[in-house]
Amino acid sequence: SYVLTQPPSVSVAPGKTARITCGGNNIGSKSVHWYQLRPGQAPVLVVYDDRDRPSGIPERFSGSSSGNTATLTISRVEAGDEADYYCQVWDTSDHWVFGGGTKLTVL
């Protein structure tokens, strides 16, 4: 089965740029999606199809994907961005696969 690998944690100071990676075999050939999960709240889609943003998601959130790595970039990080972030792809085994999640800490 397809495996997605994320760093357990990323820390960034307010106003700086956070980059969260998602590694997978030839992930650049797949569509990668990203979700934000805060405790006690419903997950929120923040980037879909590698780089597109749903309506209501700030432009500070962007995505890219190439080769074996996809990246979620959060510019001008705010305290409210502190959350867990998950990447996700659809696998040809007809399963939906999530990465292990990355905890973003705003220092």
Partner 1 sequence: EVQLVESGGGLVHPGGSLRLSCAASGFTFSDYWMHWVRQAPGKGLVWVSRMNIDAFTTTYADSVKGRFTISRDNTKNTLYLQMDSLRAEDTAIYYCAREERDSDYFDYWGQGTLVTVSS
**CA-to-CA distance for 64 and 86, rounded, in angstroms?**
14
Minimum CB–partner distance for residue 96 and partner 1 (Å): 4
76 binds partner 1 (CB under 8 A): no
Scanning 10-18, 46-54, 62-70, 71-79 for contacts with partner 1 by CB under 8 A, the matching segment is 46-54
Question: Which residue of 27, 33, 63, 83 would you call a contact of partner 1, by CB under 8 A?
Answer: 33
Minimum CB–partner distance for residue 13 and partner 1 (Å): 26
**CA-to-CA distance for 39 and 15, rounded, in angstroms?**
23
**CA-to-CA distance for 18 and 102, rounded, in angstroms?**
11
Question: Which residue of 101, 104, 106, 107 would you call a contact of partner 1, by CB under 8 A?
Answer: 101
**Cβ neighbours, 10 Å, residue 6:** 23
